[in-house]
């Protein structure tokens, strides 16, 4: 089982709204990731959590705030987003934060976000 | 600076024939390589991977070849099926440095398999 579940599947929000994206995995993976993907582009890494601690922040604007409440859950809190933030937001997990078999990342289906 | 490149934006193949997708990289620190397949409105699905200590890895219809000296890898799909039509991303990661385990993706190649 390599399932990563993301909710909601679609989200429309205004620039003054606050919303959260959720990601869940029950594979016992200790590394979790947030990516942003624009149309016809590859996924861009935003954040990496390893053992519930933030390991990598790819200089993401503070209007995106990640949170890892426990080893199975990853949230992305959104506030005061811009229309250019509209994209597919992908969550992934891997056994460990490593290069190699244990570092293979498994992706969720994503949340399609539209900012009006 | 694009460290992983997929120079063919698209590839069209007849059902039953071989599909060959190519990927080049520039960072010699990369030591693990992966291929993902992506359908529209879905997340990428892991297909197959290879370590830099190997030159070939096979899984069913999918084979990945790595030429480390040329910094080139390829994905062979034999025989190709219409259900293989998707975007294919090459990705690379390194075991060292502060960004260890981070995936760097290529731009993707759209594969279309015609019946």
Residue of chain A minimizing CA distance to B92: A99
Q: DSSP characters for A58-82?
A: -S--TTEEEEEEETTEEEEEEES--
CB B107 to CB A98 under 8 A? no
DSSP per-residue letters across B98-112: TTTT--EE---EEEE
Residue A52 pLDDT: 96
- pLDDT tens digits, one per residue of A84-105: 999 999 999 999 998 888 899 9
A4 to chain B: closest CA residue:
B43
Q: Where are the beta strands (DSSP E) in A1-116?
A: 4-7, 10-13, 18-25, 31-37, 44-50, 53-57, 64-70, 73-79, 87-94, 106-107, 111-115
pLDDT digits (tens, 9 = 90+) for B67-102: 999 999 999 999 999 999 999 999 999 987 777 888
Token representation of residue A67: 């949170």
- Contact in structure between A12 and A114 (CB atoms under 8 Å): yes
Interface of B with A in 76-115 (CB under 8 A): 89, 93-95, 99-103, 105-108
Instruction: Give the pLDDT confidence score for residue A1 in this predicted structure.
Output: 62
Give the tokens for residue A80. Answer: 């005061």
Using CB atoms within 10 Å of the CB of residue A89, give its burial: 0 to 12 exposed, 13 to 18 middle, 19+ buried: buried
- Say if A38 is an interface residue toward chain B (CB within 8 Å): no
| Below-50 pLDDT ranges, chain A | none
- Give the pLDDT of residue A12: 96
Contact list in B for residue A90 (CB cut-off 8 A) is 43-44
Residue A11 burial (CB count, 10 A): 18
B79's tokens: 């025989």
Which one of B89, B93, B101 has the shortest CB-CB distance to A42? B89
Q: Are B48 and B35 in contact (CB under 8 A)?
A: yes
CA distance A32 to chain B (A): 11
pLDDT of residue A108: 97
Q: What value does the mean pLDDT of chain B take?
A: 95
pLDDT tens for each residue of B10-48: 999 999 999 999 999 999 999 999 999 999 888 999 999
Instruction: Provide the token pair at A11.
Output: 């989200």
């Amino acid at each position: 089982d390599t399932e990563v579940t993301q909710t909601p599947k679609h989200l429309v929000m205004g620039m003054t709204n606050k919303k959260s994206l959720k990601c869940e995995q029950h594979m016992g993976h200790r590394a979790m990731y947030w990516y942003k993907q624009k149309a016809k582009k590859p996924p861009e890494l935003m954040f990496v959590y390893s053992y519930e601690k933030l390991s990598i922040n790819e200089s993401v604007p503070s209007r995106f705030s990640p949170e890892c409440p426990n080893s199975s859950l990853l949230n992305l809190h959104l506030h005061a987003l811009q229309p250019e933030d509209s994209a597919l937001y992908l969550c992934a997990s891997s056994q460990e934060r490593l290069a190699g078999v244990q570092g293979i990342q498994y992706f969720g289906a994503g949340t399609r976000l539209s900012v009006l | 600076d694009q460290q992983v490149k997929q120079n063919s934006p698209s590839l069209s193949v007849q059902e039953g024939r071989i599909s060959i997708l190519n990927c080049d990289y520039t960072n010699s620190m990369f030591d693990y390589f992966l291929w993902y397949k992506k359908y529209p409105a879905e997340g990428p699905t892991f297909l197959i991977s290879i370590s830099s200590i190997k030159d070939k890895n096979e899984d069913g219809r999918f084979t990945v070849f790595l030429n480390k000296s040329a910094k080139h890898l390829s994905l062979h799909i034999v025989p190709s099926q219409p259900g293989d039509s998707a975007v294919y991303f090459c990705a690379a990661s390194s075991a060292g440095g502060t960004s260890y385990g981070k995936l760097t993706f290529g731009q993707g190649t759209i594969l279309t398999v015609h019946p």
